[in-house]
């Protein structure tokens, strides 16, 4: 199996692994691959179907298959039966002949901002890369409607070039969200913190043909608090948002406060 793998004569160029959570045939992945060609050699290993909102899922109880595939422009890719983060683990554990220098996940259809990061398969793939010590970028487009990925792809390639030169400290990933508008209407780039999503989920209860209830988590797409300094605020003002995200979820400021509780065990 050679399709989608790095070729030996290209070993001087950085190797970029591209994956996503919308599935290997999603248009955002193809656009990202094309934009990255000037930056380095691109290998693709992505899931065979859509895993949006699958989070950081690891497949541990069934085998994983990896097959060769062709994207719609005829370019080779590898497609895996597992999740986005499985794809990254497979690549870093040796499916590719050499280690990627950078993992890019996307371009996702739909922003990944605020608490979305805890659901996002797109971001989970970048997290998996960071766990293995490889820098990870997650790139998302702020629309759920079919749209052009060109602006997001161009910016992702620009940022990838920076990351390869500057490196990222462990355990950091960059979460990038791009407004769905033409380049001339992008206001600029903001380095942001995570904002606060407003989820509008609603429980939909229906009955199956045997009269038993089933449930669907439905409702309107999420909105958010467009506070200055946040990813949601940046998108609302037409800026590209770049958020540095640590895999260390510890709230360091709270350690002293919890210590003041003087918790002990065994109990008196
Ligand atoms: Mn998705």
Q: Calculate how far, in angstroms, residue 158's C-alpha sits from the geometric centre of ligand 1.
A: 22
3-state secondary structure of 89: helix
- 123 C-alpha vs ligand 1 centroid, how far in Å? 9
176, burial (CB in 10 Å: exposed 0-12, middle 13-18, buried 19+): buried
- Give me ligand 1 centre to Cα 118, in Å: 13
Distance 56 CA to ligand 1 centre (A): 13
Give me ligand 1 centre to Cα 237, in Å: 23
DSSP letter at 180 equals: S
Could you tell me the distance, in angstroms and rounded to a whole number, from the CA of residue 55 to the centre of ligand 1?
10
In the DSSP assignment, the letter for residue 113 is -
Q: Look at the alpha carbons of 219, 56, 169, 44 in this order and tell me if their dihedral is positive or negative.
A: negative
Domains belonging to the chain, first-starting first, are 2-196+225-259 (3.40.1210.10)
β-pair partners for 67 = 79
Q: How far is the CA of 142 from the centre of ligand 1 (A)?
A: 11
Question: How far is the centre of ligand 1, averaged over its atoms, from the C-alpha of 51 (Å)?
Answer: 7
Read off the pTM: 0.94
249 CA distance to ligand 1 centroid (A)? 23
**70, exposed or middle or buried, with CB in 10 Å at 0-12, 13-18, 19+?**
middle
Q: 194 CA distance to ligand 1 centroid (A)?
A: 18
Structure tokens at 90: 């497979």
Give the integer Cα–Cα distance in Å for 234 and 144.
Answer: 18
Q: Could you give the CA distance from residue 265 to residue 199 in angstroms, rounded to a whole number?
A: 39
- Give the burial string for 205-237 (b: 16+ CB within 10 Å, else e): eeeeeeeeeeeeeeeeebebeeeeebbbbbbbe
How far is the C-alpha of 123 from the C-alpha of 36, rounded, in Å?
Answer: 19
User: How far does the centroid of ligand 1 lie from the alpha carbon of residue 9, in Å?
Assistant: 34
137 token code pair: 């970028």
Between the CA of 83 and the centroid of ligand 1 the distance, in Å, is 12
* Radius of gyration of the chain from its Cα atoms, rounded to whole angstroms: 20
Reported residue count of the chain is 268
Report CA dihedral (245, 248, 252, 257) to the nearest 10 degrees. 120
Distance 11 CA to ligand 1 centre (A): 31
In tens digits, the chain (268 residues) has pLDDT values of 445 666 655 658 999 999 999 999 999 999 999 999 999 999 999 999 999 999 999 999 999 999 999 999 999 999 999 999 999 999 999 999 899 999 999 999 999 999 999 999 999 999 999 999 999 999 999 999 999 999 999 999 999 999 999 999 999 999 999 999 999 999 999 999 999 999 999 999 999 999 999 999 999 999 999 999 999 999 999 999 999 999 999 999 999 999 999 999 999 8
CA of residue 268 to ligand 1 center, whole Å: 51
Question: 84 C-alpha vs ligand 1 centroid, how far in Å?
Answer: 10
Instruction: Kindly state the DSSP code that residue 154 receives in the 8-state scheme.
Output: H
Cβ–Cβ < 8 Å for 214, 206: yes
172 CA distance to ligand 1 middle (Å): 21
Cα of 26 vs centre of ligand 1, distance in Å, is 9
How many angstroms from the chain centroid is the CA of residue 121? Answer: 6
């Amino acid at each position: 199996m050679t399709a989608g793998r790095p070729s030996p004569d290209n070993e001087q160029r950085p190797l970029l692994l591209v994956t996503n959570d919308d599935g290997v045939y999603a248009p955002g992945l193809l656009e990202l691959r094309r934009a990255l060609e000037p930056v380095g050699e691109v290998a693709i290993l992505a899931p065979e179907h859509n895993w949006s909102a699958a989070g950081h899922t690891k497949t541990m109880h069934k085998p994983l298959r990896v097959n060769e595939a062709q994207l719609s422009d005829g370019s080779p890719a590898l497609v895996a039966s597992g999740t986005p983060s499985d794809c990254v683990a497979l690549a870093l554990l040796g499916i590719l002949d050499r280690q990627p220098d950078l993992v890019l996940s996307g371009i996702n259809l739909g922003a990944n901002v605020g608490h979305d990061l805890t659901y996002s398969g797109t971001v989970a793939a970048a997290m998996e890369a960071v766990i293995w010590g490889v820098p990870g970028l997650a790139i998302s487009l702020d629309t759920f409607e079919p749209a052009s990925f060109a602006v997001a792809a161009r910016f992702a390639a620009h940022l990838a070039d920076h990351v390869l030169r500057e490196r990222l400290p462990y355990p950091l990933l960059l979460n990038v969200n791009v407004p769905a508008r033409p380049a001339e209407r992008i206001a600029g780039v903001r380095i942001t913190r995570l904002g606060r999503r407003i989820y509008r989920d609603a429980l939909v209860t229906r009955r199956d043909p045997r009269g038993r209830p089933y449930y669907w988590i439905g409702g309107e797409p999420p909105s958010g608090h467009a506070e200055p300094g946040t990813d949601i605020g940046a998108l609302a003002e037409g800026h590209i948002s770049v958020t540095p995200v640590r895999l260390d979820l510890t709230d360091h400021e709270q350690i002293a406060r919890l210590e003041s509780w003087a918790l002990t065990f065994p109990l008196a």
